Amino acid sequence: MTQQETALVTGGSRGIGRAIAVSLAASGRFVYINYQSGIDAAKETLAAVKEAGSDGVLLPFDVTDQKAAEEAVAAVIRERGVIDILVNNAGIRDDMLMVWMKSENWDRVLSTNLTGFYNVTKPVVKKMLSKRKGRIINITSTSGQMGQAGQVNYSASKAGLIGATMALAREIAKRSITVNAVAPGFIETDMTDGLPVEQIAGTIPAGRLGKPEEVAAAVNFLCSPEAGYITGQVIGINGGIC
Ligand code: NDP
């Protein structure tokens, strides 16, 4: 019998992260659900993970805090031996035109969306390398592929994540570890709540926003044995925007 795989989903308490956690649980993975402060939402995700037929653990830490990330990853590895699947999904936006953007607005977004990837991935990869097995999926964005006005900070962080994905994929491919990015367009979550949905839908070839589950399905596929030869790629899930 093969051992149950262990997954860590950052920002797994809500939105896309929750859908990924549930999808991975439905395909038999034990899921660590990271979040920063929203414990009620995280508990709802854990309940959904159990309902999907698997189990998991809440793992609160701030991905911008390197020490906290290292300690959390070390605790998971102590409990489970290895993290087979890492999904770097935690992310924020803080939109404004560049001329109004203060360095705090820049730093907050870059440190969550890009440095957060570094803080969590480094300790996870070290262990994956010794096990010669692993899947890393980074949730980037259409904004990182084509740029979005009002999102210079966010677009930079997500474009940086694409570069990091491609570079790390080359570094560790020989150890059977794949590193890919998934780039959603507009997806119905708290992050897009309050945006003019009708107006946005009109700009999307598919004519609608996407659902978190549609992103999760691609992530789940990238975690499967069948996807073992896919690495360093960016998969757009955007209804045809780019
Ligand atoms: P949500 O705002 O719905 O959820 C964000 C999640 O990230 C929450 O679980 C939140 O936890 C967590 N989080 C935020 N900051 C931190 C932090 N510093 N440390 C740990 N966890 C943190 O976002 P979405 O589900 O919409 O987005 C998920 C990812 O997908 C993001 O990377 C986003 O950039 C990307 N994306 C989203 C798109 C969309 O249209 N929704 C489009 C393209 C990309 P808590 O509640 O505890 O703060």
By the 8 A CB rule, do 152 and 143 touch?
A: no
**How many A from CA of 184 to the centre of ligand 1?**
12
Return the pLDDT at 2.
60
Task: Identify which of 66, 121, 191 to mutate to test ligand 1's pocket (most ligand atoms within 8 A of the CB).
Answer: 191
CA distance 186 to 204: 9
Is the minimum distance from the CB of 165 to ligand 1 under 6 angstroms?
no
Average pLDDT for the chain: 98
Name the active-site residue from 35, 118, 154, 229. 154
Looking at residues 216-241, what average pLDDT do you find? 98
Q: Is 154 a catalytic residue?
A: yes
Identify the three-state secondary structure at position 35.
Answer: strand
- Going by the DSSP 8-state scheme, the letter that residue 9 receives in this structure is E
Amino acid at 63: V
pLDDT-derived band at 220, boundaries 50, 70, 90? very high
Return the pLDDT at 1.
39
CA distance 165 to 171: 10
Strand pairing category for 56-60 and 6-9: unpaired
Return the pLDDT at 3.
87
Is the minimum distance from the CB of 162 to ligand 1 under 6 angstroms?
no
What confidence tens digit (pLDDT) does each residue in 157-175 have? 999 999 999 999 999 999 9
Looking at residues 26-53, what average pLDDT do you find? 98
Domain 6-237 part of CATH 1.10.510.10: no
Domain coordinates of the chain in residue numbers? 6-237
CA distance 59 to 75: 10
237 pLDDT exceeds 90? yes
Looking at residues 210-214, what average pLDDT do you find? 98
What confidence tens digit (pLDDT) does each residue in 100-140 have? 999 999 999 999 999 999 999 999 999 999 999 999 999 99
Token pair, residue 188, equals: 């119905």
Which residue, judged by its Cα, is nearest atom 41 of ligand 1?
187
Share of the chain above pLDDT 70, in %: 99
**How many A from CA of 195 to the centre of ligand 1?**
16
